[in-house]
Structure 1
C-alpha cells in the first residue's frame, strides 16, 4: 500500500501543527512507498535551501526504511554504510526523515522535514509520520 493523498494531507497537517507548536518554519515533504512526492509545503519564511533537503530526507527514509539519523550513524567513516550519501542522486544522512509504517509493519511512505535544528526537523517529521502510521519499525539484522 502507498500513502494516499488523503493520508499525506493528514501527515502534513500534523507536521505543520508540530512546527507551529515549537515556533519554526519548515519545508515538509511526504512521499509514498515508491519514494514519489505525494505532498509538499514550504511554510512562510522557511529557507529555500530546505526544499531539496526535505524531499531528499523523505526519499532517503523511504529507500532504506529507517530514520535518516540512523543512516547517518551507519555512514560514518569505517561504518557499514560509509559513502552511501553519494548513491541515489544524493541522500541526506542527518535527522529529519522518518519512514511511515502501517499497523502491519509495512512501509507505506516517509516524511522529510528541513528548516531548523535537526532535532526539531526529526520531531516534526515524526509527528507527521505518527499521525498516519506507527513509530516502531521492524528490526533488520544489519541495523544497530
Structure 2
C-alpha cells in the first residue's frame, strides 16, 4: 500500500465509528494521522466529550511517532520506570487508544487515535482498525 490518503483515512474513521457504536454504544472522537503524526482526518461524533478531541489526536500522533500502540508505550514507561517527558516531545501521550497503521509488510503508513470510551475500549477499537488495515 502506498501513502495513507484522505479517502482511506475517512474510510478508517467510518469503520472505527461503526465498531465503537456497535460494540460499545457510545460516541467517540477518531483521528487519523500520517506517518509523521500530522493530522489527516478527524471526526467527533455527536455527543462525544469535548475533551476527547485533543486526546484522540494525541493518541494518533503518539502511535505514529513511536511506531507502537499507546498501550505499548504505557507498558514501557511502567516497565522501565521512566516518564513520558524523557522523550522530549510534549505532544506524546501514553494513554491507551492509539495504534500505528502498518501495511502487510510492516511499513508505517500512519496511525489512528480514538477517545470517548474507557482507555481499554479505545485501544480495542484502534487495534481492530489497525488489524484490518494490515490485512
TM-score by length of 2: 0.89
The equivalent of 2:83 in structure 1 is 83
Partner of 1:124: 125
CA distance in 2, matches of 1:85, 1:69: 17
1:11-36: CA deviations, max 9, x gaps?
Answer: 11110110110201111000011111
Q: CA deviation at 1:94?
A: 2.3
Report what 2:66 is aligned to: 64
| Deviations 1:43-90, CA, capped at 9 Å, x for gaps | 0100000111100000100101101011001112x716x122563223
Q: Which secondary structure state, in structure 2, belongs to the residue aligned with residue 131 of structure 1?
A: helix
Query: Retained in 2: the 8 A contact 1:10–1:132?
Result: no
Aligned-CA RMSD value: 1.6
Q: How high is the TM-score relative to the length of structure 1? A: 0.84
1:37 paired residue among 36, 39, 48: 39
8 Å contact from structure 2 (residues 84, 93) kept in 1: no
Give CA-to-partner distance per residue, 1:71-113, whole Å, 9 cap, x none.
Answer: 001112x716x12256322321121000000011100000001
Alignment length (residue pairs): 132
For residues 1-40 of structure 1, what are the structure 2 equivalents within 5 Å? Answer: 1-21=2-22, 22-40=24-42
Are residues 119 and 111 of structure 1, via their aligned partners in 2, closer, same or farther at CA, if it must alter by over 3 Å?
A: same
1:10 Cα offset (Å)? 1.6
> Which residue number in structure 2 is paired with residue 105 of structure 1?
106
User: SS of the residue aligned with 1:109?
Assistant: strand
Higher helix share: 2
Gaps of 5+ in 2: none
1: distance between equivalents of 2:29 and 2:61? 14
CA–CA distance in 2 between the matches of 1:41 and 1:128?
Answer: 15
